[in-house]
Amino acid sequence: MSHSNFWLIVPAAGVGHRMQAECPKQYLRIENRFILDITLSRLLDSGLFTGCMVPLNAADHRWQGTDASNDDRIQTCSGGAERADSVLAALNALTGQVAADDWVLVHDAARPCVHPSDLANLVSTLSDHPVGGLLATPVADTLKKADRGQLPEVVGTVDRSQLWRALTPQMFRYSMLIEALETALKEAQPVTDESSAMEFSGNMPVLVEGRPDNIKITVPADLDLAGFILSRF
């Protein structure tokens, strides 16, 4: 079993355009709790993490009203224009606290339904792996490729036999992840998750199957769905 420490980064600097809400979605409430508080408590309650860094939007004025802001395990920093920029900012803000081969788990603030069993399985599966990996779930729907018309039309059906939906947490060694993100961003590579940066650097992250109910709250309908999922835990 690895003797490395485990650190948590929860990117929470987005504005939630697709949610069309009155505030950034991480500050919407489920059962009168901020989504950000739910996500952070579900992860930190595992007792796994040495520390946690939460990148916030520079214009964020809601953080001080959260329960998490009173948790001395949690540090904050300023995020960036894109999710990858926020994650890199958080990694840099941890410099001096984290050893090169410590594990860093990055988990979207917008995924409050993450299940403790998935977190435990991710860590136990990868803690001695040289690269790391991510929670993911096999695609269960038939996938269509469409043209870009106003009324999109099918141009083909995609073979889904090797396709997975990437979830979070995504778990990589501190120094490898910083280097991969810096390289990908410098080369203007599209980086929508940590794995894609690691892949660009030539690594093959492991896919660890996770629960499909680890949803990312993205559009309005996701809020009630997340509330139902959380009510079942």
Q: Kindly state the tokens that stand for 207.
A: 């896919």
Of 2, 4, 5, 15, the residue at the interface with ligand CTP (CB under 6 A) is 15
Residue at token pair 């920029």: 85
- Per CB under 6 A, the list member of 82, 179, 199, 209 interacting with ligand CTP is 82
**Binding ligand LQXTBERG by CB under 6 A: which of 60, 102, 108, 118?**
108
Residues 18-77 interacting with ligand CTP (rule: CB under 6 A) = 18-19, 26, 55
Closest CA to 93 of 70, 74, 110: 74
136's tokens:
């993911």
CB of 160 to ligand LQXTBERG, least distance (A): 16
| CA-based R_g, the chain, Å | 18
Give the nearest distance from C-beta 85 to ligand LQXTBERG in angstroms.
Answer: 11
3-class DSSP state of 105: strand
Of these, 37, 60, 102, 193, which contacts ligand LQXTBERG (CB under 6 A)? 193
Q: Which residues neighbour 90 within 8 Å (Cβ) at sequence distance 6 or greater?
A: 9, 11, 53, 54, 55, 77, 79
Closest CA to 84 of 218, 197, 215, 216: 197
Cβ within 8 Å of residue 169, ≥6 positions away: 8, 43, 105, 106, 107, 114, 119, 122, 134, 135
Q: Is 86 in the site for ligand CTP (CB under 6 A)?
A: yes
- Of 156 and 212, which has the nearer Cβ to ligand CTP? 212
Secondary structure (3-state) at 85 = helix
Give least dist CB 193 to ligand LQXTBERG, A: 4
Segment 196-225, which members bind ligand CTP (CB under 6 A)?
216, 218
Which one of residues 43, 52, 88, 109 is an interface residue with ligand CTP (CB under 6 A)?
109
Burial of residue 35 (number of CB atoms within 10 Å: 0-12, 13-18, 19+): buried
User: Total residues at the site for ligand LQXTBERG (CB under 6 A)?
Assistant: 7
12 vs 104, which CB is nearer to ligand CTP? 12
Site for ligand LQXTBERG, rule CB under 6 A: 83, 108, 166, 168, 192-193, 216
Q: Which residues bind ligand CTP (CB under 6 A)?
A: 11-19, 26, 55, 79-83, 86, 108-110, 216, 218
